[in-house]
Amino acid sequence: EPEVTQTPSHQVTQMGQEVILRCVPISNHLYFYWYRQILGQKVEFLVSFYNNEISEKSEIFDDQFSVERPDGSNFTLKIRSTKLEDSAMYFCASSEVGGLGTDTQYFGPGTRLTVL
């Protein structure tokens, strides 16, 4: 069964450093998403991406964050200057369709980001 993969599984970085989290969505999916979950809290939406453009973003997704689909298979989330409060699990998801009642999002296993 096709699945979303994410690398690395765990990333440790120093405050102020740049990090890039990588995701390989399911191959025939066209919509891509990043969510995050701070330990013990709810899952929070960051951004959705379609046709090489951001289609929706949350207030969390400020200028420190960017997303890119550098090739036909990868989808990345970059945090330019990490803060302590960026420590969280980051989940990538993809879906065949988006913005409809029937769209189903498939999630990767997550990357645990620890900012020291």
Partner 1 sequence: DAKTTQPNSMESNEEEPVHLPCNHSTISGTDYIHWYRQLPSQGPEYVIHGLTSNVNNRMASLAIAEDRKSSTLILHRATLRDAAVYYCILRGMDSNYQLIWGAGTKLIIKP
Q: Which residues bind partner 1 (CB under 8 A)?
A: 4, 31, 33, 35, 42-45, 48, 50, 55-56, 58, 91, 93, 98-110
Q: Please state, in angstroms and rounded to a whole number, the distance separating the CA atoms of residues 96 and 78.
A: 23
Residue 84, classed as helix, strand or coil, is helix
Q: How many CB atoms lie within 10 A of CB 66?
A: 14
Q: Please state, in angstroms and rounded to a whole number, the distance separating the CA atoms of residues 18 and 83.
A: 10
Of 48 and 87, the one with the shorter C-beta distance to partner 1 is 48
Of 1 and 14, the one with the shorter C-beta distance to partner 1 is 1
**Cβ 112 to partner 1, closest distance in Å?**
9
Of 53 and 63, the one with the shorter C-beta distance to partner 1 is 53
Which residue(s) pair with 68 in the sheet? Answer: 76
